[in-house]
Amino acid sequence: MSKWGLAYKGGEILTPEERNKVVDALEELDSRTPTEIKGGIVAFEGDGATTTFQIAHGLSTTPTTCFVGKGASGLPDIDYWEANPTYITVHFKSAPASGVSVTLWWLAILL
């Protein structure tokens, strides 16, 4: 039995109540479909002092969720990231060394 109260019926015809449960389940799943998804790879240059880098995500508003990762070895650990209507701001635990290419991959999703 599913969380919507549905069970496999084989070839039997659905009752009106079961049909309504199916419609409710499909509507809930449809509401989870992303309305916007953007992502990519960005590169910055470390200066030995800067610990935050901003990625312009290009969505119409603040992402519902976003993911960021290091796209190159030898970079300091990412402490955390946060998003606003324009940017994903990535905070490193320490500043990447001067002259080092800071390559990041990112994915922003708006539900």
Mean pLDDT, 10 residues at a time, over the chain (111 residues)?
63 78 81 87 97 98 95 94 98 97 96 84
| Domain boundaries of the chain, sorted by first residue | 36-110
Distances (CA, A) of 51 to 3, 21, 30, 69: 45, 50, 39, 15
Q: What is the largest CA-CA distance in the chain?
A: 68
pLDDT for res 7: 65
pTM: 0.73
Whether residue 83 contacts residue 89, with contact meaning beta carbons closer than 8 Å, is answered with: yes
Give residue 57's Cα distance to chain centre.
11
User: What secondary structure, in 3-state letters, does 37-76 show?
Assistant: EEEEEEEEECCCCCCEEEEECCCCCCCCEEEEEECCCCCC
Q: What is the DSSP letter of 71?
A: S
Mark out the alpha helices in 1-111 (DSSP H runs): 16-31
d(CA 48, CA 41) in angstroms, rounded, equals 21
Whether residue 23 contacts residue 29, with contact meaning beta carbons closer than 8 Å, is answered with: no
Does 2.60.40.10 match the CATH number of domain 36-110?
yes
